[in-house]
C-alpha cells in the first residue's frame, strides 16, 4: 500500500473525476482535523468538488466545507443545521430503514446507508446487504450513499440496486495507484448511470 498525504490522495482522485469528498479521521486531535480539513477544503474548492467533514459541524463551518457527515452518536441534525445554516449539506450514517426515515424527517440532505458488505474500515454494525439497500432506497426521497466494503467488483450491484452513490475508502486508498483505482470505479458508475 502506498502511503500518501490526504491532499495528495484527493488530488489524484480529483484527476480521475471524483467530485465529492469526505474527510474522516477518528484518531487525530481536533486541531489536526481542523488543519487537514482546511487544506482539503481549499483543494476541493479549487477543483469545484464538494467537501464534507466527518463528525464535526463546527470544524466544517470553520474551514468553509460544503457540509458535515454525522454518525448516529454525533450532534443531532437539527443542532448541526444551527451551526452550518441552510446552505450547507448535512448527511448522516444510517443502519436501518427507521434510521433513514428519521434522518429524512430531521432534515438530512442525504443518508449514508450500510454496511452493505463486510468492511474493516469501521465498525458500522450489522451487515445490511443489497436487498435492504433496495428497501431503504424505496422508503426515502433523499439521496442514498451506500457505505461499507464497496469495491470495483461490487459497485455495479450497489448502483443497480438504487444507490445514488457510494462511499469508498479502502478500495481506493489501499491501491498502489489511487488515480487508476478512482478512474476504474468512476468508469463502472458512468456505464450504469448513462
165 three-state secondary structure: strand
- What CA–CA distance (Å, rounded) separates 22 from 14? 13
At 44 the pLDDT is 98
pLDDT tens, residue by residue, 84-108? 999 999 999 999 999 999 999 999 9
Report the pLDDT averaged over residues 20-25: 96
pTM score, two decimals? 0.93
At 128 the pLDDT is 94
Please, what are the domains in the chain? 6-192 (3.20.20.70)
pLDDT tens, residue by residue, 122-140? 566 789 999 999 999 999 9
Label residue 193 by pLDDT band (50, 70, 90): confident
At 1 the pLDDT is 45
Q: Of all residues in the chain, what percent carry a pLDDT higher than 70?
A: 96
What is the phi/psi pair of residue 165, to 5°? -175, 180
At 111 the pLDDT is 98
* Whether residue 192 has pLDDT greater than 80: yes
Give the catalytic positions in this structure: 24, 93, 122
What cell was used for 178? 489511487
* Whether residue 75 has pLDDT greater than 80: yes
- What CA–CA distance (Å, rounded) separates 53 from 9? 16
Amino acid at each position: 500500500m502506498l502511503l500518501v498525504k490526504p491532499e495528495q490522495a484527493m488530488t489524484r482522485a480529483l484527476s480521475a473525476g471524483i467530485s465529492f469528498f469526505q474527510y474522516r479521521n477518528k484518531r487525530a486531535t481536533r486541531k489536526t482535523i481542523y488543519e487537514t480539513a482546511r487544506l482539503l477544503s481549499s483543494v476541493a474548492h479549487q477543483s469545484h468538488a464538494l467537501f464534507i467533514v466527518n463528525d464535526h459541524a463546527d470544524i466544517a463551518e470553520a474551514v468553509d466545507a460544503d457540509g458535515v457527515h454525522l454518525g448516529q452518536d454525533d450532534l443531532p441534525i437539527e443542532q448541526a443545521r444551527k451551526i452550518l445554516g441552510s446552505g450547507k449539506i448535512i448527511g448522516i450514517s444510517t443502519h436501518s430503514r427507521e434510521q433513514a426515515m428519521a434522518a429524512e424527517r430531521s432534515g438530512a440532505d442525504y443518508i449514508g446507508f450500510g454496511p452493505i458488505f463486510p468492511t474493516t474500515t469501521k465498525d458500522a454494525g450489522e451487515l445490511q446487504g443489497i436487498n435492504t439497500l433496495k428497501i431503504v432506497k424505496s422508503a426515502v426521497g433523499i439521496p442514498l450513499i451506500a457505505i461499507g466494503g464497496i469495491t470495483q467488483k461490487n459497485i455495479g450491484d450497489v448502483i443497480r440496486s438504487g444507490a445514488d452513490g457510494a462511499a469508498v475508502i479502502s478500495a481506493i486508498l489501499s491501491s498502489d495507484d489511487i488515480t487508476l483505482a478512482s478512474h476504474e470505479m468512476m468508469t463502472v458508475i458512468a456505464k450504469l448511470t448513462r
